[in-house]
Amino acid sequence: MRIATTIFLTDETITPLRLARELEQRGFAGLYLPEHTHIPVSRDTPYPAGGELPPEYGRTLDPFVALAQAAAVTERLALGTGITLVAQHDPIGLAKQIATLDHLSGGRFTLGLGYGWNIEEAADHGVNWSTRRELVRDRMALMRALWSVEPTAYEGEFGSVRASHAYPKPVQAPRGPVNGPRTLIGGAAGPKLFAHIARYADGWLPIGGRGLTESVPKLREAWESAGRDPKQLQVVPYAVLPSPGKLAHYAELGIEEVVLQLPPAGEAEVLRALDAYAEYL
């Protein structure tokens, strides 16, 4: 099982350069970073985990800039987002960012995407909350038109692009209905999410990794009903606090990668956490 990590990198934590070097030297498989552009002070949306929103949410580094630094000082470390708030981006610009990072890192990028939870943050980007899932699906289709080998036009409900020359291209070859980098969708288990995963992703990024015994078979059913190859489905439990029993259970479910949560802290505390996670490598 590949053991990757995630962390809220901020202006107060260990740096991307230092962390990436340590992860690769120690044998960790990857680094995934979250995204929040800003956190409005006036906020009615509750924190999904309950209680007060931790301060690191309002201090996150831009994941693409931070991952570019990480790519520059590593050779094997996988790089990903967990998650990119696709609805909050211009899709033409985002397609260029993603393709450039994937190209420069030699195909090491994974696009973890999600629909968001902070209504006020999304509203500042002009997102209509009730249609955000459809917006994300539309923007993914537009980006994939730009990533196509031949110039391809796209006309969608929320946006369009002319047939265009758009380089670089993501490294990974098209598979099934998907082209572009490895793509995982985050979110809570449910028929709608699983239908979207089967339609335009490589798999699921379940936060915390709870309830997979019941939900993974349902995802596999939706996946196969959409005509996807059962061997290609990827489930990557994300932001996990590990134990030997938990990882053994994931392995029994056929899971090949897990992303462990690191503390949003300075170098000394983060390195201690890596030392503690060494037993799982």
Angle at which helix 132-147 crosses helix 91-104, to 10 degrees, equals: 50
Cβ-based burial of 270 (10 A; exposed 0-12, middle 13-18, buried ≥19): buried
Q: To which residue do tokens 């002070």 refer?
A: 41
Q: What is the pLDDT along the chain (281 residues), one digit of tens a residue?
A: 999 999 999 999 999 999 999 999 999 999 999 999 999 999 999 999 999 999 999 999 999 999 999 999 999 999 999 999 999 999 999 999 999 999 999 999 999 999 999 999 999 999 999 999 999 999 999 999 999 999 999 999 999 999 999 999 999 999 989 999 999 999 999 999 999 999 999 999 999 988 999 999 999 999 999 999 999 999 999 999 999 999 999 999 999 999 999 999 999 999 999 999 999 99
What pLDDT was estimated at residue 209? 87
Tell me if the bond preceding 83 is cis, omega within 30° of 0: yes
Angle at 236 between CA 256 and CA 109, to 5 degrees: 95
What global pTM score does this model have?
0.97
- Give the C-alpha separation, 113 to 64, whole Å: 13
